[in-house]
Homo-oligomer: A and B are copies of this chain.
Amino acid sequence: MVKKVVLAYSGGLDTSVILKWLQDQYQCDVVTFTADIGQGEELEPARAKAEKLGAREIFIDDLRQEFVRDYVFPMFRANTLYEGEYLLGTSIARPLIAKRMVEIAADVGADAVAHGATGKGNDQVRFELGAYALNPDIQVIAPWREWDLNSREKLLAYAEQRGIPVERHGQKSPYSMDANLLHISYEGGILEDPWAEAEDGMWRWTTAPEQAPDRPRYLEITYAHGDPIAIDGEPLNPAQLLAHLNTVGGEHGIGRLDIVENRYVGMKSRGCYETPGGTILLKAHRAIESITLDREVAHIKDELMPRYASIIYNGFWWSPERRALQTLIDQSQRLVNGVVRLKLYKGGCMVVGRQSQESLFDPRIATFEDDAGAYNQKDAGGFIKLNALRLRIEKRLQG
């Protein structure tokens, strides 16, 4: 039935086996698609491997700029955290991959897409909801839900049998990892015991706070319309800016996180994350909003945020509800302009200053000193009295 399938291909063992398995199982052409979203790996080896394994066409795209500009930054406009802590580093990359897969499928006339996510995780949902939303007639092949290669041994046996090269150099990481310009994540291995502390050697992007520099680093981030556009006065494009913050933040041990989260498929899972740049951007964005955004708009955003985060976490980026919320979020950012000053030190990231041409902080009113009548303290009496009215009536009448 399937004639041609676009496979999200990393070049690793799993998706290499899938490449071959698709050809075997579906007797179809396989087009590979490998994206650079800042995962920090060479992509040319993926090309060579795909060629060797008989890929019909090979797409390798640098999506870093688009990723940060159109996915990461819009999400950060909402101060998005899933379950109070997770910066959604994996979740936010999947919709972009899904979109490119569907575009490539249209380009090459493929009738299906395939991915290497397992049937237990969130990523399958994110890939597939994205693909279906953008092309409702696309077929999706999720080999992990179909085949019987459900152990490392079987996978290796299949690889050997079908001539798929298996890298033996070095040791396979005990963790399941995912990386892009926003973060690197770790699951599995000893992390499956939520009481076990992650090993020091696991963390890859950040210096341990204990090894971080003894002197704090100050940083100034400039915002325009809710997005960061410059660091220490130097304009940077989105991908550069995030990469730069990852470097600086990583050096100072910023952005390690160890949580148990609730997956959309219904189970709890433990994950460790390094998000140096994102951790800084969350603090900075809240700070620039704190002086430029109206209180009630800020509170509405805070109340909607958990739902917006769930929408992204659950894979509904390409949904009308995400777009509806995004409209509100984006509209709120028109005057979120200015500069935030932060101090990074051994894993800590603290806001120490913020300024803006559009600041709503009015020192003439807030001052403890004489305000020259800018604020009439007597007004507060009536304000309190009317706010108290229903409470007083209730106490009198209902006791």
Residues of B within 8 A of A297 (CB): 320-321, 324
Interface residue A361 (Cβ < 8 Å from any Cβ of B): yes
Nearest to A266 among chain B residues (CB) is B389
Known: A266-B386, A380-B120, A389-B267. A260 touches B354 (CB 8 A): yes
Interface residue A10 (Cβ < 8 Å from any Cβ of B): no
Q: Which of B133, B193, B209, B307 contacts A392 (CB 8 A)?
A: B133
Residues of B within 8 A of A128 (CB): 384, 388
Q: Which of B136, B193, B269, B377 contacts A119 (CB 8 A)?
A: B377
Assembly CA distance A134 to B392 (angstroms):
8
Assembly CA distance A250 to B6 (angstroms):
55
Residues of A270-325 whose CB lies within 8 A of B: 270, 286-287, 290-292, 294-300, 302-303, 306-307, 310, 316, 318-321, 323-325
Residues of A350-399 whose CB lies within 8 A of B: 350-355, 358-363, 365-368, 370, 375-398
Residues of B within 8 A of A387 (CB): 125, 129, 266, 383
Binding site for B on A (CB under 8 A): 79, 83-85, 118-120, 124-125, 128-129, 132-137, 140, 142, 144-145, 150-151, 176, 187-188, 192-198, 209-210, 214, 216, 253, 256-262, 265-270, 286-287, 290-292, 294-300, 302-303, 306-307, 310, 316, 318-321, 323-325, 327-328, 331-332, 335, 341, 343, 345-348, 350-355, 358-363, 365-368, 370, 375-398
Q: Which 3 A-B pairs have the closest CB atoms?
A: A119-B377, A382-B382, A266-B389
